[in-house]
Chains A and B, each alone.
Chain A
Amino acid sequence: MSIRPILSALLRNKTGAILVAVQIALTLAVVVNSIYIIVQRIEKIGRPTGIDEANIFMVNTQNYTRDFPYEATIREDLAYLNGLPGVVAATTINAIPLSGGGSSTAYFNAPGGKGEGVPGNYFEVTERGIDALGIHLSSGRGFSAAVIRPPMQRTSEFVPEIIVTRDVAKQLFPDTEPLGKTVYSQLSQPARIVGIIDHMHGSWTGWDKVGNVVLHPVTDCCKRISYLVRTKPGDRDRLMPIVEAKLIKTSGRVVNSVRTLGFYKDRSYSDDRNMAIFLSVVIVLLIAIASLGIFGLATFNVQSRTKQIGTRRAIGARRRDIVQYFLVENWLITTSGIVGGCVLALAVGYWLSMHFELPRLDLYYLVGGVFGLWLVGQLATLLPARRASRVPPAVATRTV
């Protein structure tokens, strides 16, 4: 079946074809860009955090009496948590990883605080911190119990040693081995790098330097005290109420919440997840609508061309020739829409990248979208085309 006569017939009935082509063009532009956004979001949500998320829960407490014995309480709590069967390790921590809340400061590779410094999202943890977070040290060692600063009110004092992620290490010392090097605070106080973490995400999942994490050997203090507890696989949900019931007994403080780390992660990524879900729904609806448009046009064409189809059958067209005719016709319409759609998709992609700081549309997605829409068009035409092929050739001899 050749294209030219189909094309010339098409050009005499432009309206319907143009309407479908416009739909295809808009659909391609929206679908390709939406899928691109969805994939980015899914990739973002699925990034490895370096933390044993699945087996960690947080206990957030707040004390409220004057002279609350926080030092003794922290010691007792940590002893209890670390001794609890099923617990791998527990630590106090100044902020909840992946939660959207945390602290950062700048680190320098030379004293004097000159230049930009490397921003680091720091977590204050005890000697059990590495085990509690379930992160992997690629070189060096963890903190010894002796170096952990006891609970202390507000202070500008820096720490003697720190553990940094490979990201931070590379930014501070691009050319040399960072382990054992000295870094400086804004006030030029020195600290030595004693360990390198392979990879770990900090508090702010939307930050482009989310992997810039530093651990300080400090016991979190004093009003609001949070514990990060890592359990053996499967023990987390069982231990949460047990821990809450125990800690709640201490007078002079309340347990604000006991929540899994997954809760905070989900909340941090909720906008990304909702965007992905919403766009997916839009895509499904859009493809459904576009298919409906294609189906509608093909059905209308079959109805209004019954006589013509009968005549073609009478003068020798086989059923499959008729099916092919409509499929080729749809392919032509879809393709013309796709040509416009590619331009539109690139324009929308450009607009998104300019105004919303999204990465420029990846062309693979466009290619995928083109093949996808070709398929959708053919599938939506198949049913009316098969109906057309069942028009009896005897229709040709009917006078009305």
Chain B
Amino acid sequence: MLDMQGIAKIFRTDLIETHALRNFDLKVEAGEFVAVTGPSGSGKTTFLNIAGLLETFEHGTYRLDDQDVSRIGDDQRSRLRNEKIGFIFQSFNLIPDLNIYDNVDVPLRYRRLSASDRHTRITSALDIVGLASRMKHIPAQLSGGQQQRVAIARALAGDPKFLLADEPTGNLDSLMARQVMDLLEEINRMGTTIIMVTHDPDLARRAHRNVQIIDGQVTDYKPYEGPYEPSAIIGVTGERASG
């Protein structure tokens, strides 16, 4: 699913060079739920940006879904982000001027799907996160937990290969955080690969596998052993909504 080898990312200013990632290797198989941890400044966010095709890198190769994405153009990266990756951000990043329905609609618009197809996907995604009744609300009218669930619905609506979650509960209180984690586990059980970046060891423990980054390198890398068996596969795409 995701295979990074020897990746290096260097930030340069006039005075200093910072090696955010160096010789970074990581492999994630389909269906996994991986937690990436590490202290702040360790390179977690850089890893996340590169894994999500948000940033480019200097050295190494990155294969995503059996495709080498190390040196592809900006438009192609946009397309891959749109089709294969679902993002869940710490601060939700909902568009405040759009209602819930339109927020979930945003990635589908960029994929130029038909109106009926989009409608099916949006309603089923909102069903999964349990917010189908709130689709005319704007983000400011929802609680933090609800907003994050909308963000998850937005990530799911595009039927991505994997979800990339960045401190998904960082802005939430513990009750809401637990609900969001339950939802992520549920989604993972339905077959979607999840990579979650967090600094919270308790959260990380709920993942199947923990990867720790320190000083831009994976220090606690356990290669994957044996196939992961999902308990059930439930799709959320329009075409396979009945699953």
Contact = CB atoms under 8 A, between A and B. Distances in A.
Interface of A: 1-2, 5, 8-10, 12-13, 307-308, 310-321, 392-394, 396-397, 399
Interface stretch (B79-87, B124-132, B203-211): B79-87
A393 B85 CA distance: 13
B181 interface: no
B52 A318 contact: no
B85 to A, nearest CB: 8
B54 interface: yes
A8 B95 CA distance: 12
Given A1-B109, A397-B54, A397-B89, 10 more contacts: A5-B98, A8-B98, A13-B97, A315-B155, A316-B82, A318-B78, A319-B74, A319-B78, A393-B53, A399-B167
Nearest to B87: A314
A315 B107 contact: yes
B109 A5 contact: yes
Contacts of B89: 311, 396-397
B78 A313 contact: yes
Contacts of A308: 93, 95-96
A308 B99 CA distance: 14
Given A8-B97, A316-B107, A316-B110, A396 B87 contact: yes
Given A315-B107, A399-B90, A393 B98 contact: no
A2, A9, A316, A320 — most chain B CB neighbours (10 Å): A316
Nearest to B74: A319
Contacts of B55: 392-394
Interface in B117-174: 138, 154-155, 158, 166-167, 170
Contacts of A321: 78, 110
Contacts, number: 94
Given A9-B98, A392-B55, A397-B54, A317 B45 contact: no
Interface in B47-61: 48-49, 52-55
B32 interface: no
Contacts of A5: 98, 102, 105-106, 109
A314 B78 CA distance: 7
B54 A316 contact: no
Contacts of A313: 54, 78
Contacts of B82: 315-317
A10 to B, nearest CB: 8
Contact of B166 (A2, A315, A316, A397): A397
Given A8-B97, A13-B97, A314-B87, A392 B110 contact: no
B78 A311 contact: no
Nearest to A308: B95
8 contacts: A8-B98, A8-B102, A312-B95, A315-B158, A316-B81, A317-B78, A318-B110, A397-B48
B14 interface: no
Contact of B54 (A8, A9, A320, A393): A393
Nearest to B107: A315
Given A9-B95, A13-B97, A394 B110 contact: no
B111 interface: yes
Contacts of A310: 93
Given A1-B109, A315-B81, A394 B54 contact: yes
A320 B99 CA distance: 24
B169 to A, nearest CB: 13
Given A315-B110, A317-B78, A317-B110, A399 B105 contact: no
B102 A316 contact: no
B23 interface: no
A395 to B, nearest CB: 9
B91 A399 contact: yes
